[in-house]
C-alpha cells in the first residue's frame, strides 16, 4: 500500500534515502492505523469504546513524551494493546474501581516516577542531548499533572480510574526492567 502511495511522488525530485524515509514513515502510519482500528473495533464488542478511548488518550498523553519500552514485533504490539486497552477498561467497568483516596496518591507516585525515569531510551529510540531529555522530562511530568488535574475535576469515579490508570500504564513502561538500566 505504501508503494502505491509513493508512486504519486516524483521520485526524481527526492534522494533515494528520502524516498526510503518516506516509505518507512508511510508503512509505520498504515500499521498504526490498522492497530487503532483493531483496538477500537474490539472495544465495540464489550461496549467499552468510550472507556477505551478515555484510557488510551490518558495513556498517550503521557507516553508521547516519556517514550519507554515497546513490543518487539507489530503482532506483539497489537496483542498487548488489545489486552491493555480493552481488558483494563473492561475490568474497571465490571470488576474493580479504586476509590479516590487510592487514586490521588497513585497519581503522585506516577509523577515522581516520571520525574526520575523519563524519558526512557530504548535501542531504537535514541533521545537527543541532555537539554532535549530535560525538555521531554518536564513535558512528561506536566502531561501527567494535567491528566491528574482533570481526574480530580471529573465527578465520575470510573473516569477518574481510567485517567489515572492510563497514566500508570505509561509509567510502567518507563520503569527500568534491569538493575543496570538505572542511570
pTM, whole model, 2 decimals? 0.81
C-alpha 98/C-alpha 76 separation (Å) is 29
Mean pLDDT of the region 128-152: 86
Q: Which three cell numbers stand for residue 3?
A: 508503494
Report how far Cα 75 is from the mean position of its chain's Cα atoms. Answer: 17
Query: Mind listing the pLDDT tens digit for each residue in 101-129?
Result: 999 999 999 989 888 887 776 666 666 67
Q: Which residues contact 19 (CB under 8 A, 6 or more apart)?
A: 6, 9, 11
Using pLDDT thresholds of 50, 70 and 90, give the confidence band for residue 32. confident
- CA distance linking residue 62 with residue 85, whole number of Å: 15
In this prediction, residue 10 carries a pLDDT of 60
Amino acid at each position: 500500500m505504501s508503494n502505491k502511495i509513493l508512486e504519486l511522488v516524483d521520485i526524481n525530485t527526492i534522494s533515494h534515502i528520502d524516498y526510503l524515509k518516506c516509505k518507512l514513515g508511510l508503512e509505520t502510519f498504515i500499521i498504526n492505523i490498522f492497530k487503532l482500528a483493531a483496538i477500537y473495533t474490539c472495544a465495540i464488542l464489550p461496549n467499552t469504546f468510550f472507556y477505551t478511548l478515555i484510557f488510551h488518550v490518558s495513556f498517550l498523553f503521557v507516553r508521547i513524551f516519556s517514550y519507554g519500552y515497546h513490543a518487539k514485533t507489530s503482532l506483539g504490539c497489537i496483542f498487548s494493546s488489545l489486552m491493555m486497552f480493552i481488558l483494563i477498561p473492561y475490568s474497571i467497568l465490571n470488576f474493580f474501581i479504586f476509590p479516590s483516596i487510592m487514586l490521588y496518591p497513585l497519581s503522585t507516585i506516577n509523577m515522581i516516577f516520571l520525574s526520575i525515569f523519563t524519558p526512557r531510551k530504548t535501542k531504537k529510540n535514541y533521545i537527543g542531548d541532555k537539554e532535549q531529555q530535560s525538555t521531554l522530562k518536564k513535558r512528561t511530568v506536566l502531561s501527567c499533572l494535567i491528566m491528574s488535574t482533570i481526574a480530580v475535576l471529573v465527578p465520575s469515579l470510573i473516569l477518574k480510574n481510567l485517567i489515572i490508570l492510563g497514566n500508570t500504564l505509561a509509567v510502567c513502561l518507563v520503569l527500568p526492567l534491569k538493575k543496570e538500566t538505572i542511570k
